[in-house]
Amino acid sequence: MSLDRRISLALLPTPLQLLPRLTKLLDGPNILVKRDDLTGLGMGGNKLRKLEFLLGDALAQGADTILTVGALQSNHARQTAAACAKVGLDCELILRHGKHHQVEHEQIGNMLLNQLFGAKIHLLALPAEREPVMAERAEQLKVEGRIPYCIPVGGSGVIGNFGYVLCAEEMIQQASEMGQELDAIVVATGSGGTHAGLLAGLHLIGSKTRVIGIAVEGTREEQEALVYQQASEVVSALRGRKMARTKVEVLDAYVGPGYGKPTPEMVEALHLAASTEALVLDPVYTGKAMAGLIDLCRMGAFDTEDRVAFLHTGGAPGLFAGALGRQI
C-alpha cells in the first residue's frame, strides 16, 4: 500500500502558530497551535487530510457514490459532503441522532452545510447501528448499477490515516523552521485515526515527540487499544518497524457525561481560547481537548520551557447547533 492515490483538497501546509497570551495565562509551557481548522474546503477541518487519500482511492476504483457515517452534527460528514461536491461524486450520509432530537436540529450547523453541499442524508435514531445500514445501502446502489465506496466513521482506517502521517512530518518541519522542537502534541481522540496517524508518522521519522490524546468518548483503555491498532496498521502498511504499545497515551478524565455532552471545563476552555487568542474551538472535540491541555498545564504536567502543540481539528459549525451552542 502506498501514498500515490492522494488527490489535493486541503490548503496545506496549515500554520503552526505560537499562542503567547494563553501561554502567559497558564504560566507555561510554550503552547502552539496547529491550525487544521484552516484546511479550507467546506469550512475546513482535519478530515480533509484523510479525504485526500480516501477519495483518491475511491476515484481510482471508479466509484461514483461515497457513503459514510457519523453523528447528526458530524464534522467528518460535513467535510466528506464538501469534498464530494468539489470532485463531482455523489454523497450519502448515514447519520444517527440522539434521544432528544428535534426537527430544527436537521437544519442548523453542519446539517445545513450538508444540504448545501448536496448530500443525501439518511437519519437513524439511537440505538440503530449505522455501519450495517451503510453496507445495506451500498448493496442497493450496486443493484442500481452504481459504484459505491464506503468510508468508516471519522475516515479512520489505514488509507485515511495516511493524511496524519504526513501531518506529523509537516509539524516537525515547521517547528524546526521556527527553531523549536516539539515535546508533545495534544489532540482530541474519538474515532482514533488522527491520533494514530500522528503517532505512526512520528514513529516512522524517529521523532521523540509525545502524542497525548484527550478522549471525547469511551475509556482510556478502549481508546488506547483503538489508537494502537490503527497506528500499528499504518506502520505495517508503510513497512516500518513495530511500534511500542507504551507510546500510546490517552486521558479520559475530560469526557464528562459522554460524547457531545458539555462540561464546565469545556465551556471554560472555549472562553479562554477565544478571549486570549481569538481561537474558536468546538464543543465536542477541540473544546474538550483544550480543557485537557489547560488542566495538564495547571497540574504541572509539563516543564515551563516545554513546547506543546495543540492540534486544532476544526468543528466550529458545532457552536451553532441549537441547544449545544446555547449551553456555551
Q: What pLDDT does residue 321 have?
A: 81
User: Does 4 reside within a domain?
Assistant: no
Low-confidence spans in the chain with pLDDT less than 50? 1
Cβ atoms of 315 and 37 within 8 Å: the answer is yes
Q: How far is 324 from 91, CA to CA, in rounded Å?
A: 26
Pick the last residue of a domain from 120, 155, 190. 155
Regarding whether 113 and 126 lie in a shared domain, the answer is yes
Regarding whether 301 and 185 lie in a shared domain, the answer is yes
Regarding whether 310 and 193 lie in a shared domain, the answer is yes
User: Does 90 reside within a domain?
Assistant: yes
Regarding whether 288 and 251 lie in a shared domain, the answer is yes
Name the helix (H) or strand (E) containing 189.
strand 184-189
Q: What pLDDT does residue 322 have?
A: 60
User: Does 170 reside within a domain?
Assistant: yes
Catalytic residue, chosen from 74, 156, 191, 207, is: 74
Q: What pLDDT does residue 191 have?
A: 96
| CA proximity to 174, closest of 14, 303, 49, 314 | 14
pTM more than 0.85 = yes
Regarding whether 67 and 192 lie in a shared domain, the answer is no
Q: What pLDDT does residue 104 have?
A: 60
User: Does 54 reside within a domain?
Assistant: yes
Pick the last residue of a domain from 123, 140, 155. 155
Regarding whether 267 and 207 lie in a shared domain, the answer is yes
C-alpha cell at 88: 463531482
Q: How far is 245 from 249, CA to CA, in rounded Å?
A: 9
Domain that holds residue 231: 16-45+157-326
Regarding whether 237 and 263 lie in a shared domain, the answer is yes
Distances (CA, A) of 226 to 1, 158, 231, 250: 21, 12, 9, 10
User: Does 7 reside within a domain?
Assistant: no
Q: What pLDDT does residue 1 have?
A: 45
Cβ atoms of 88 and 64 within 8 Å: the answer is no
Strand-pair category, 65-71 with 148-151: parallel
User: Does 9 reside within a domain?
Assistant: no
Regarding whether 143 and 117 lie in a shared domain, the answer is yes
User: 2-16 burial by CB neighbour count: b if 16+ within 10 A, else e?
Assistant: eeebbbebbebbbeb
Residue-averaged pLDDT of the chain: 95
User: 109-129 burial by CB neighbour count: b if 16+ within 10 A, else e?
Assistant: bbbebbeebebebbeeeeeee
Share of the chain above pLDDT 90, in %: 90
Regarding whether 299 and 223 lie in a shared domain, the answer is yes
Q: What pLDDT does residue 247 have?
A: 97
Regarding whether 214 and 256 lie in a shared domain, the answer is yes
Number of domains in the chain: 2
User: Does 6 reside within a domain?
Assistant: no
Q: What pLDDT does residue 84 have?
A: 98
Q: Among this protein's residues, is 74 annotated catalytic? A: yes
CATH number of the CATH domain containing 307: 3.40.50.1100
Q: How far is 169 from 205, CA to CA, in rounded Å?
A: 8
Pick the last residue of a domain from 128, 155, 182. 155
Regarding whether 147 and 282 lie in a shared domain, the answer is no
Cβ atoms of 291 and 22 within 8 Å: the answer is no
Cβ atoms of 140 and 112 within 8 Å: the answer is no
Cβ atoms of 189 and 227 within 8 Å: the answer is yes
Regarding whether 216 and 90 lie in a shared domain, the answer is no
Give a three-class secondary structure readout of 81-114.
HHHHHHHCCEEEEEEEECCCCCHHHHHCHHHHHH
User: Does 1 reside within a domain?
Assistant: no
